[in-house]
Amino acid sequence: MRPDPAAGTVVAGYRIVEQAGSGGMGVVYRAEETGLGGRPVALKLLPAALAGDPDFRARFLREMRVAAAIDHPNIVPIYRAGEDRGLLYLAMRYVHASDLRHVLEAEGRLDPARALAILGQVARALDAAHARGLVHRDVKPGNILLAPPVLDGDPEHVYLVDFGLARSDSDDRSIGGAGSFLGTPRYAAPEQAAGRQVDGRADGYALGCVLYECLTGQAPFPGGSGEAVLLAHLEAPPPRVTTLRPDLPPAIDQVVARAMAKPPADRFPTCRALITAARAALSSPAGSTAPTPGAAAAPAPTPGTPQPQHPVPGPPVGEATPAARGGPPAVHSPPWPAPPAPSSGCPQPLVAGPARPGGRSGGLSAAAATRAAGPGRPGRLDPARPGQRGRQPR
């Protein structure tokens, strides 16, 4: 089959309607299921060169099997993944939504309450994936879809899309191979930038980068080439939110500094812990820093009583205290759950996701929502260009 099928072509039981986006990791089409009323789907077709690589094909099917097993309201569901006449495909719910990247481009920095509402849903999705031993590896505004609320007054519904770069925590042989970089430089954790093995804490680092961008309107390290940005993630200290937003409490600087700590062990244990700490920091009075938990207020000195000459110890510079994190002291041992045992035998040619009754129609997650195919250079996904409601990601 041609790698660029025309409208009307049927691939794996899905009739292509139109192209929705393209990028280094494939092309996304809006398609319809040929049976059961023509359910709309986002159909991602991977490059023929990748489909012809037996190792890549095996890894893709294995890792999509893990992703398809995740049933979470903030993750666009994968219906099926497999191979049809030499083409690797991924079928997902088609979501009618815009993405956070285009919202930031159109509106600039977000109100802190809205930023926390959006990223809180992303954090829940990531923690659910991490609990299954799956690492996203490309958390960025272009992979965060904002759909209309179901009921008036509800917050916008958020979908995390494009698990096309995801890897199983139990498998070193992730898509792209050992020592290679896959992802988006602006949001890459230091260990990811260096081509080392990553776990869920790399997603937490990326979420910290997105939080910074939501609050300030720009990425933590916005300028220069991709190589220069990766070097900044490896060596430069995290930027302070209050440099661009002096109206926000300084405590948020500590939260971002911990989220973007170079050693993974120094970061938040979960993505939800990061958002909880950010919420506490942003609700503290402007001009205050995070207090040390459990510290009682110092009594007023008695006249004539000599005062101690040594400083009262405080939290290390750049480190959020447990109070700022909204929880107990950090545990520096890797908190990630034991990954599921790898499937035995060879991967099956077809992977089916769990049936999900109801739910919003639509969604590309690779699909449009999956913005999954982000245009860009080989070896990384970039955000889609065109954007409007109903637009599909690239």
Per-residue pLDDT of 310-320, as tens digits, reads 333 444 444 44
Among the listed ranges 119-123, 258-262, 365-369, which one has the minimum average pLDDT value? 365-369
Q: How confident is the model at residue 176 (pLDDT cuts 50, 70, 90)?
A: very low
Task: Return the residue matching tokens 């890894």.
Answer: 59
Query: What pLDDT score was predicted for residue 182?
Result: 67
Rounded CA-CA distance 383/173 in Å is 25
Q: Report the pLDDT averaged over residues 170-193.
A: 68
Distances (CA, A) of 304 to 123, 198, 309, 383: 53, 58, 15, 65
Provide the percentage of residues in the chain whose pLDDT is more than 70.
66
Instruction: State the virtual CA torsion across 244, 103, 378, 259 in degrees, nearest 10.
Output: 40
User: pLDDT per residue over 8-32, tens digit each?
Assistant: 999 999 999 999 877 656 788 999 9
User: Is the separation of the CB atoms in 132 and 341 below 8 Å?
Assistant: no
Phi-psi domain of 204 (left: phi exceeds 0; alpha: psi -120 through 50; beta: other): alpha
Among the listed ranges 132-136, 288-292, 320-324, which one has the minimum average pLDDT value? 320-324
Q: What is the residue-averaged pLDDT of the chain?
A: 75
Query: What pLDDT score was predicted for residue 229?
Result: 95
Query: What pLDDT score was predicted for residue 169?
Result: 54
Query: What pLDDT score was predicted for residue 165?
Result: 56
Query: Is pLDDT of 222 > 80?
Result: yes
Query: Is pLDDT of 5 > 50?
Result: yes
Among the listed ranges 155-164, 169-178, 206-215, 261-270, which one has the minimum average pLDDT value? 169-178
Composition of the chain by helix, strand, coil, percent to 5: 30, 15, 55
User: pLDDT per residue over 233-291, tens digit each?
Assistant: 999 999 999 999 999 999 999 999 999 999 999 999 999 999 999 999 999 886 555 54
Query: What pLDDT score was predicted for residue 48?
Result: 79
Query: What pLDDT score was predicted for residue 303?
Result: 44
Query: Is pLDDT of 219 > 80?
Result: yes
With 0-12 / 13-18 / 19 or more C-beta atoms within 10 angstroms meaning exposed / middle / buried, residue 360 is middle
Cβ-based neighbours of 322, under 8 Å, separated by 6 or more: 293, 328, 329, 330
Cβ-based neighbours of 289, under 8 Å, separated by 6 or more: 249, 250, 251, 254
The domain locations on the chain are: 108-140+168-294+311-325
Our answer to whether residue 171 is catalytic in this structure is no
Query: Is pLDDT of 102 > 90?
Result: yes
H-type alpha helices, the chain? 48-51, 54-68, 100-107, 112-131, 190-193, 200-216, 226-235, 241-244, 251-259, 271-282, 322-325
Rg (CA), the chain: 22
Q: How confident is the model at residue 68 (pLDDT cuts 50, 70, 90)?
A: confident
What CATH class does 108-140+168-294+311-325 carry?
Answer: mainly alpha
Which among 53, 55, 138, 152 is annotated as catalytic?
Answer: 138
| Amino acid in the structure at residue 229 | V
Instruction: Of 112, 36, 146, 259, give the one whose Cα is nearest residue 15.
Output: 36
Q: Report the pLDDT averaged over residues 115-137.
A: 94
Query: Is pLDDT of 340 > 50?
Result: no
Pairing outcome for strands 157-160 and 26-33: unpaired
Query: What pLDDT score was predicted for residue 31?
Result: 95
